[in-house]
Structure 1
Amino acid sequence: MKRHNLKNNLVILFIITLVSVTSCSFTTKDFDEDTDKDKVLIELITHVIEQGHFDMREIDDDFSKSVFKDYIKGLDPIKRHFLKSDFEEFEAFQTQIDDQIKNKNLIFFDLTVERYKKRMEEAKEFYAELLEKPFDFEEQETINTDYEQVDYAKSNKELKQRWRQQFKFSTLSTFHDLKQEQAQNIEDGEDVEIKSDAELEKEAREVTRESIENYFDTMSDLERKDWFNLYINSIASQFDPHTSYFAPRDKDRFDISMSGKLEGIGARLQKQRDNVKIVEVISGGPAWTNGELEVGDLIQKVRQEDEKEAVDIRGMRLDDAVSLIKGPKGTQVILSVKKVDGSTQTISIIRDVVEIEETYAKSSTVESNGDLFGVINLPKFYFDMQNYNERNAASDIKKELERLNEIGAEGLVIDLRNNGGGSLSTVVDIAGFFIEKGPIVQVRDAQNNTEVLRDTDSNVIWDKPLVILVNELSASASEILAAAMQDYERAVVIGSKQTYGKGTVQNVVDLNRWMRNNTTFGDMGALKITTQKFYRINGGSTQLKGVESDVAVPDRFSYVDIGERDYENPMPWDKIAPANYKVWKGYSNLDKVISSSKERLSNNAQIQMIDENAKWIKSQRDQNKFSLNYEGYDEEMTQVENMSKKFEGISQYNTNLVFKSLPYEKALMAQDSSLTEKRERWYKSLSKDVYVEEAIHVLQNLNVDENSIKLAARKD
């Protein structure tokens, strides 16, 4: 399922990796003060993109068609407003948008927005009628939610029927939940008022009514600038998925997120059609601590602790949905969530701020067959934006490595799973702890200038076996570290078939600085623009392909697109000349160990169950036809719940490995019971982790030739 480019404008709690917030050296430009601000904004953005984008795309008819497709989809993602005749009228402009951009012409934009408002008002006139009478859940009827393939309604009558089906589907879902809840309460012996199906259907229908009324209220509050931001981002995102416009309000949110002041449930949210999707669970946040939310989950309803009724946020603007999810520290929010496997779950989370300590690197020891190993978890490549010499990922990793050396650890696992990236400088420093002098990553700009970033310190902190764990959510900086260690043959990379695949660098440009005469237009916002691309030292880009694991292991996202390739127009993979480097010569049996690991995992029952679960998740995500008959719907939901229970065994796995804190941390625990609780929770998770178990097996089998531990530094 493709993620829509509208996300670039609507993502809240936005955390970007490997971003350089800079003034850049673009040429400033004069603008006609008598021109409309919207027209100036289009001219300004295209000017900045033309001067600074890594791979400037030609603004032509093909470009125009792409903008048209994304913008219309953004306006009406589930095709419940525009008629077929509207779309055909809009189609006349699909090859003219490029000309309108160049001529600062907004005829197409104005037409679509005015038509949308008209269709919205028409829908307001009939929605109450559709919800006035009870729905017949005995009727055999289905709904198709593959809106990409569904055509626009040819008439108002057909459009009304489409709304009716959507209302019925929403009501059926709530009705089913209410029946299940009532049955469970009766089974538990609770003293509850037993309601008839008719009463429960009416209650469910009222929930649908409130939801759609909230939707109309929200849409009515939108101003022209909100729609124009959508249009602008439909243009900007054609250059690549990470180039996007921040209106002044969105830029303020970006500044807050970059400062690390993250509050609420600690998750990054994204609009996906009518749903609110979890795209990141932030380490140290309440959702991370709770452990029940995961990437790919869809939040459907939100209830406050002091309220009886949940608010259905499907169809709601992301800003408004987030305002319901956020709240004062210490309060509880109850989320109705559709899990990635298709099951539904109610999750209660106590709102809080992100615990900064939990975003930092942490380490553990583990003993296996008399051998002592270390595990370091790195949630992100953090640094202080004001002062790099303050605490950062590299300085913390160095301390942990030295501590592991002191206690005689014989091998190390670095866990980069779910690590979305961060500071490039810390990546180069960390890679240098495992090799002598040498290149770590190559950075190329739009003028094909290539800079090789290298480790210049010949000191090697860790010269013992190394395994790096990754998954599909290991991105940017994580991919650079994993790629460098793989190219040097310094580490065995274990994890998903490939990592996320984000190999580009963005600059955030304050648009106000590129106008010589901005005395009229006010704050113009900012533009996030892709200016550089990363390449491995072997010459291959990490873009799109990511890093392919030496030992590829199935996980729950194995069969669904969840990385850079999930975007509609990602920048391509390519290759440049390799840097001058020589591989590490420390392992005498690297190929044999990798081969043995693959064979061992292919026969692992836990891995086989995870693979089966991943295929089930894929089938659920591909399902787009649902029964509107209660018995049929109940059967579908029962099957989902049964399959979910079947795969609960995955979380019951036990490696029999025992994880312990390092001596310095044990001393801290004696004075901090909360630290003890946090670490015990982490150790319990590690003890059930088949991927960590395999990493320990690999460390045990890697033979280090003490006489060959050397790396010839690159000859400049």
Structure 2
Amino acid sequence: MRKNLKLLLLAVFIGVASCSFTTKEFNDPNKDKVLIDLITYVLEKGHYSPADINDEFSKHVYDNFITGLDPLKRYFLASDIEEFQQYELLIDDQIKEKDLSFFNLVYERFQKRMEDVKLMYPKVLETPFDYSADESINVDYDNIPYVKDREELMERWRKQLKFSTISSYYDAVEEEKTKRETEEGYEPKNDAELEAKARETTHTSLEEYFEFTDDLERKDYFSIFLTTIVEEFDPHTNYFAPPDRDRFDLRMSGRLEGIGARLQKKNDYIKVVEVISGGPVWRGEHLEVGDLILKVKQEEEDEPVSIVGMRVDDAVKLIKGPKGTKVTLTVKRVDGSIEEETITRDVVELEETYAKSTLIEEEGKSFGLINLPQFYFNMEDYKERNAASDVKQEILRLKEEGMEGLVLDLRGNGGGSLRTAVDIAGLFIEEGPVVQVASSGSRKEVLKDKDSEIVWDGPLVILVNELSASASEILAAAMQDYKRGIVIGSKQTYGKGTVQNVLDLNEWMRSNNFGDLGALKITTQKFYRVNGGSTQLEGVKSDVIMPDQYSYIDVGERDYENPLPYDKIEAADYDVWDGYVDFDASIEKSKERLAKSEQLQLIDENARYIKMRRDEMEVPLNFDAYVADIEKRKEETKKFDKLEEYDNQLSFRSLPSEIQLMKQDTTLREKRKRWHKNLAKDIYVEEAINVLRDLRINNIKAGKVADMKN
């Protein structure tokens, strides 16, 4: 089964597609059939390594679509699967013939089974669970069989719901103990009341889940089917239905035009769940978390439109809009009052997307740390704001504060714009190649830094982990190959060495009577290090390896079913940076320090423990056994509490420009306070600073660089 991690790594390389409409005609009046035909045509013409649409391809689509719809095997019956299997090796033929029989059968059956379950789960939750029964649940869903009939399905749901409820019941029992001990005059609740409350919590959760699924339409499930098909070409080729494309653009740029509030559907109402700091709503204090939006009125309209009961995606379309335009919302406040709020839409920037920096002070020395969550850029105007220009600005600000060494933190950075990765590398080297990009047909391009300016010529450390992918790997690999910086972190990074372009499917149509067809993110190239090696599957191997919580968990590209293979090409022509006196010696010193670190040994032990617990597939549903298991875990993990107590003795402070912003933005101040608190417990940052202290710059080399600038 494909890894869910792909959802956390959608921020991948983007290029601007130069393709125009094709000469092929797509004349079928059925939009779904046109999409199938168009997408497979585009994949055949544009994918770096097009897959053969054959019986094996068919089998994978069959397995992954059914598993994607029913991963816990709590809807389909064994008889359904038996009926579906007639199509197991026919989907490839159906794709070519634009035959939707398989999709239609599975979709319609899934809708029926969901309706059956909607009647089933409330009956299960009417009756108290017997927590004295000696039973357990197997959560190895990949390997459990489908149930034979409705009776077995009811039993599976009973266990699943008991599994969902037992944790709430445990929490309620523990909370009750605390209240009895600490609250004077407290009226205690008995076990039956606590159990009933726990079942009610589960019931509410299921109601909300089915409220969400009720909003899904056939086209939403067909989008899932299309994505299942295209992902058989490789894990990073995806179909984006129109709303998904908008969300992807937002993730890539970190900005949108709208009111600056996150919304969620709750019991037919659109509810404000977050006000984005700095946005129009925040600036004007128009809305608060918990407010319900009842109606939306545009500037040019006389009558407002009710959005009660509307899909959240459709409501958002009405609420968001171009910068400078106004929208009037009818709002039901938390206190029940109803008011109208007129909001002028504006550009909303998601602060957590962008680069941020801090100054680290230790023993009279100052070091800088820049955290880069992703390689973002404005898809309409690269020059407006991007990761490279922001990192450059942060470096200049840190230099003004006397920075003597720099840590670039790419941990958890899943990638983004290829161009920004090249531009950031150029901040640390003179002219030279940064990455090699190969297209199908053995065509190769070397992307270079053509600017001789070096913004930072001092000591540099790059922090990575298993979730550092794509553009992160390009940058880390280039700094490693040039010996410009020392890479510290996991044994290897994620291992994604492919480049994607987003193609607007509407541009491939001579005429389009179907509305927005969405977009296709398609793998068009592979990238290679300047030394000729690929990061595909192999990732970037750290110069200094430090264990972390992911060390023994399958999270990399190599853990997908169908990644593109690893290979090599010729090295580019580049000169290793000779600005350090003791580059290799600093790496060895770091390894010696870490070998003695009790904290790292404990981190490694904790990672092994996490792996062991994740592999346990049988969970007790007897309350005494459940409690005993929790107590056992608490005892086993007590020694890991020291990980949270760690203090690296480093001092962190925000830069003057940010301190000014904090005077107006208390949310930003709180975010930075928490960030600095977490950094103070971070042994990886501590070792990065140790390495920066060890790295000595060749003053003659630095002098040459300064002369070149002048």
SS of equivalent to 2:501: strand
Which letter does structure 1 place at the counterpart of 2:679? Answer: L
SS of equivalent to 2:571: coil
SS of equivalent to 1:365: strand
Instruction: Please state how far the C-alpha of 1:200 moved relative to its aligned partner.
Output: 2.0
Could you tell me how far apart the structure 2 residues matched to 1:261 and 1:86 are?
A: 45
Could you tell me how far apart the structure 2 residues matched to 1:496 and 1:266 are?
A: 36
**Which residue does 1:541 correspond to in 2?**
534
**Structure 1 residues 444, 264: closer, same or farther in 2, change over 3 A?**
farther
SS of equivalent to 2:126: coil
Instruction: Please state how far the C-alpha of 1:241 moved relative to its aligned partner.
Output: 1.6
**Structure 1 residues 178, 493: closer, same or farther in 2, change over 3 A?**
same
The answer to whether the Cα contact below 8 Å between 2:496 and 2:535 also exists between their aligned partners in 1 is yes
Could you tell me how far apart the structure 1 residues matched to 2:510 and 2:235 are?
A: 29
- 1:254-269 to structure 2, matched below 5 A, reads 254-258=248-252, 260-261=254-255
SS of equivalent to 1:19: coil
Instruction: Please state how far the C-alpha of 1:51 moved relative to its aligned partner.
Output: 0.9
Could you report, residue by residue, the CA deviation over 1:113-149 in whole angstroms, capped at 9, with x for unpaired residues? 2332333344445444433332211010010011101
Instruction: Please state how far the C-alpha of 1:551 moved relative to its aligned partner.
Output: 0.5
Could you tell me how far apart the structure 2 residues matched to 1:143 and 1:551 are?
A: 42
Specify which of 625, 631, 647 is matched with residue 632 of structure 1.
Answer: 625
Could you tell me how far apart the structure 2 residues matched to 1:306 and 1:649 are?
A: 41
Could you tell me how far apart the structure 1 residues matched to 2:216 and 2:400 are?
A: 61
Specify which of 583, 589, 594 is matched with residue 587 of structure 2.
Answer: 594
SS of equivalent to 2:165: helix
**Structure 1 residues 691, 514: closer, same or farther in 2, change over 3 A?**
same
Specify which of 222, 235, 244 is matched with residue 241 of structure 1.
Answer: 235
- 1:52-71 to structure 2, matched below 5 A, reads 52-71=46-65
The answer to whether the Cα contact below 8 Å between 1:510 and 1:527 also exists between their aligned partners in 2 is yes
The answer to whether the Cα contact below 8 Å between 1:23 and 1:510 also exists between their aligned partners in 2 is no
Instruction: Please state how far the C-alpha of 1:70 moved relative to its aligned partner.
Output: 0.1
Could you report, residue by residue, the CA deviation over 1:8-35 in whole angstroms, capped at 9, with x for unpaired residues? 6xx8xx96332224352462421234x4
- 1:266-665 to structure 2, matched below 5 A, reads 356-357=350-351, 359-405=353-399, 408-519=402-513, 521-643=514-636, 646-661=639-654
Could you tell me how far apart the structure 2 residues matched to 1:87 and 1:694 are?
A: 54
**Which residue does 1:299 correspond to in 2?**
none
* 1:166 matched to 2:160: yes
**Which residue does 2:11 correspond to in 1?**
16
**Structure 1 residues 409, 638: closer, same or farther in 2, change over 3 A?**
same
The answer to whether the Cα contact below 8 Å between 2:128 and 2:196 also exists between their aligned partners in 1 is yes
TM-score under structure 1 length normalisation:
0.81
**Which residue does 2:3 correspond to in 1?**
3
The answer to whether the Cα contact below 8 Å between 1:413 and 1:467 also exists between their aligned partners in 2 is yes
SS of equivalent to 1:388: coil
The answer to whether the Cα contact below 8 Å between 2:13 and 2:501 also exists between their aligned partners in 1 is no
SS of equivalent to 1:575: coil
The answer to whether the Cα contact below 8 Å between 1:4 and 1:568 also exists between their aligned partners in 2 is no
Which letter does structure 2 place at the counterpart of 1:604? Answer: S
Could you report, residue by residue, the CA deviation over 1:478-525 in whole angstroms, capped at 9, with x for unpaired residues? 211111000011111001112222322222222222122323x33322
Could you report, residue by residue, the CA deviation over 1:295-344 in whole angstroms, capped at 9, with x for unpaired residues? xxxxxxxxx9799xxxxxxxxxx989x99xx9999x99xxxxxxxxxxxx
Could you tell me how far apart the structure 2 residues matched to 1:567 and 1:473 are?
A: 14
Which letter does structure 2 place at the counterpart of 1:502? Answer: K
The answer to whether the Cα contact below 8 Å between 2:505 and 2:517 also exists between their aligned partners in 1 is yes
**Structure 1 residues 399, 213: closer, same or farther in 2, change over 3 A?**
closer
SS of equivalent to 2:201: helix
Specify which of 203, 206, 219 is matched with residue 209 of structure 1.
Answer: 203
Which letter does structure 2 place at the counterpart of 1:3? Answer: K
The answer to whether the Cα contact below 8 Å between 1:84 and 1:152 also exists between their aligned partners in 2 is yes
Question: Sequence identity, in percent?
Answer: 56
**Structure 1 residues 189, 671: closer, same or farther in 2, change over 3 A?**
closer
Could you tell me how far apart the structure 2 residues matched to 1:129 and 1:60 are?
A: 45
The answer to whether the Cα contact below 8 Å between 1:366 and 1:657 also exists between their aligned partners in 2 is yes
SS of equivalent to 2:15: strand
- Range with greater deviation from structure 2 (602-611 or 656-665): 656-665
**Which residue does 2:344 correspond to in 1?**
none
- Range with greater deviation from structure 2 (179-188 or 362-371): 362-371
The answer to whether the Cα contact below 8 Å between 2:368 and 2:405 also exists between their aligned partners in 1 is yes
**Structure 1 residues 565, 284: closer, same or farther in 2, change over 3 A?**
farther
SS of equivalent to 2:87: coil
**Which residue does 2:285 correspond to in 1?**
none
SS of equivalent to 1:20: coil
Could you report, residue by residue, the CA deviation over 1:38-86 in whole angstroms, capped at 9, with x for unpaired residues? 2221111101111111111110111011101101101221112222232
SS of equivalent to 2:503: strand
The answer to whether the Cα contact below 8 Å between 1:601 and 1:607 also exists between their aligned partners in 2 is yes
**Which residue does 2:220 correspond to in 1?**
226
Could you tell me how far apart the structure 2 residues matched to 1:421 and 1:369 are?
A: 35
SS of equivalent to 2:535: coil
Could you tell me how far apart the structure 2 residues matched to 1:676 and 1:111 are?
A: 54
**Structure 1 residues 370, 32: closer, same or farther in 2, change over 3 A?**
closer
**Structure 1 residues 628, 674: closer, same or farther in 2, change over 3 A?**
closer
Could you tell me how far apart the structure 1 residues matched to 2:457 and 2:52 are?
A: 49
Instruction: Please state how far the C-alpha of 1:694 moved relative to its aligned partner.
Output: 0.8
Could you report, residue by residue, the CA deviation over 1:648-702 in whole angstroms, capped at 9, with x for unpaired residues? 3212211222234556666777888776665554443333221111112112222
Count of matched residue positions in the alignment of Structure 1 and Structure 2: 642
SS of equivalent to 1:131: helix
Could you tell me how far apart the structure 2 residues matched to 1:483 and 1:267 are?
A: 37
* 1:105 matched to 2:99: yes
The answer to whether the Cα contact below 8 Å between 1:175 and 1:204 also exists between their aligned partners in 2 is yes
The answer to whether the Cα contact below 8 Å between 1:266 and 1:354 also exists between their aligned partners in 2 is no
Which letter does structure 2 place at the counterpart of 1:448? Answer: S
Which letter does structure 2 place at the counterpart of 1:569? Answer: N
**Structure 1 residues 567, 77: closer, same or farther in 2, change over 3 A?**
same
Could you tell me how far apart the structure 2 residues matched to 1:213 and 1:433 are?
A: 52
**Structure 1 residues 113, 364: closer, same or farther in 2, change over 3 A?**
closer
Instruction: Please state how far the C-alpha of 1:219 moved relative to its aligned partner.
Output: 4.2
Could you tell me how far apart the structure 2 residues matched to 1:446 and 1:467 are?
A: 35
* 1:29 matched to 2:14: no
Could you report, residue by residue, the CA deviation over 1:193-226 in whole angstroms, capped at 9, with x for unpaired residues? 4222122222322333344444455545543223
- 1:142-161 to structure 2, matched below 5 A, reads 142-161=136-155
**Which residue does 1:200 correspond to in 2?**
194
Could you tell me how far apart the structure 2 residues matched to 1:446 and 1:268 are?
A: 43
**Structure 1 residues 686, 251: closer, same or farther in 2, change over 3 A?**
closer
The answer to whether the Cα contact below 8 Å between 1:655 and 1:687 also exists between their aligned partners in 2 is yes
**Structure 1 residues 648, 147: closer, same or farther in 2, change over 3 A?**
same
**Which residue does 1:314 correspond to in 2?**
none
**Structure 1 residues 699, 61: closer, same or farther in 2, change over 3 A?**
same
The answer to whether the Cα contact below 8 Å between 2:61 and 2:229 also exists between their aligned partners in 1 is yes
| Unaligned 5+ runs, structure 1 | 270-282, 287-303, 308-317, 333-352, 712-716
SS of equivalent to 2:74: coil
Could you tell me how far apart the structure 2 residues matched to 1:647 and 1:383 are?
A: 39
CA RMSD of aligned residues (A): 3.7
SS of equivalent to 1:92: helix
**Which residue does 2:307 correspond to in 1?**
none
* 1:185 matched to 2:217: no
| Unaligned 5+ runs, structure 2 | 265-275, 280-288, 293-310, 321-328, 335-346, 706-710
The answer to whether the Cα contact below 8 Å between 1:401 and 1:462 also exists between their aligned partners in 2 is yes
Could you tell me how far apart the structure 2 residues matched to 1:145 and 1:360 are?
A: 38
**Which residue does 2:303 correspond to in 1?**
none
Could you tell me how far apart the structure 1 residues matched to 2:262 and 2:568 are?
A: 35
* 1:697 matched to 2:690: yes
Which letter does structure 2 place at the counterpart of 1:162? Answer: R
The answer to whether the Cα contact below 8 Å between 2:238 and 2:521 also exists between their aligned partners in 1 is yes
